Amino acid sequence: MKATFILKIFLLIQILLIQGVVLADQMIIPAPPKIKASSYLVMDFHSGKLLIEENIDQKLPPASLTKIMTVYVVANELKNGNISLEDEVLISEKAWRTEGSRMFIEVGKKVRLNDLLHGVIIQSGNDASVALAEYVSGAEDVFADLMNKHAERLGMKNTNFVNSTGLPHADHYTTARDLAILAQAYIRDYPDVYKMNSIREFTYNKIKQHNRNKLLWRDRSVDGIKTGHTEAAGYCLVASAERDEMRLISVVMGTDGVNARAKASQALLNYSYRFYETHKLYSSGDLITSVKIWKADNEKINLGLNQDIYITLPRGQYDKLEPVVEIDKQIIAPVEQGEQKGMLNIKLANETLTTVPLLALESVSEGSLVNRLKDEVHLLFQ
């Protein structure tokens, strides 16, 4: 009787241990925090994966989040050598009179472009935004057209800009998804300019103003990006943080206060870092496989990637990733470098997380007449 009881206890322990292994093996991810906002998301910078999303394609007024694109366009002009940080910009009356947040530049005076850029990024100066727009394009409406051209190029499908400041206009709108796309491009394309977003204060004309992004004081991993507020837009914040080489971008639009947008953004970032991780699986140019090539002097052709591959997945699941290669049935010379000849699928528990093309890493020309004829015979009987 006692032996039977002990045996049952032993078996029960074994069952619990087995179940414990299973439960530990399956990361339980709770629902993300509910945010009182019109629209919000979190996106991984490297993989582009959306970890949280709510109404992300709803067209909304962006207020001063507009200035992310204003700075992006200016950074592009700097990179192309069309303007310089040391340029002296003459301030027009229109720029001086622009309402809303201000850098306090003065009409008729010249201001270094570098100072104006700081005035836009840190102080959110509408006057500085107009001054930069006029300097780059001659007029603000022309600059707005340039902003839209960049938005189209980046794939921002539900965005239209009519000014450089974000001041209210019926035809001036964007979405959380489009802002995440823009933020990703900004950080990737112009990292030197992006560094200015982490500066907490800037003094111009003996007037010190603080960066409106409260997360710069609350979270050392946060290094940007931009706040915005109008009565129509509510309180908005696009933030970015980097922890252990994992960079996230959060977008929060339409909250009801300065603290609300900061708390919402912090909650979304903390949740995403707690339950997800990002890994770089491959680098551009990596060899994935070598396969048979027909009608060539070479026996094989090398297939690989032309891009870095990142994966964002629930924490603790990295070791369970499975790369699956699919190769074209017959690869026949000639093949040009960069031609797609297969696919690489990254799977987790039979779910495909991402699919990327496998490309020829080198060109392979036709082989000798003998090799071509020999392979022709082989192919006939395949």
Residues annotated as part of the active site = 64, 67, 124
Cα separation, 38 vs 350, in Å, equals: 35
Q: Quick check: 326 and 307 in contact, CB under 8 A?
A: no
Nearby residues of 353 by Cβ (< 8 Å), 6 or more positions away: 311, 313, 321, 346, 347
Residue 58 CA to residue 263 CA, distance in Å, equals 22
317 phi, psi to nearest 5 deg: -105, 0
- Residue matched to tokens 């140019």: 285
DSSP helix/strand/coil, 379: helix
Which residue spans within the chain are E strands per DSSP?
39-44, 50-54, 88-90, 110-112, 201-204, 207-210, 222-230, 234-243, 246-255, 276-282, 287-292, 300-304, 309-314, 321-327, 340-348, 351-360
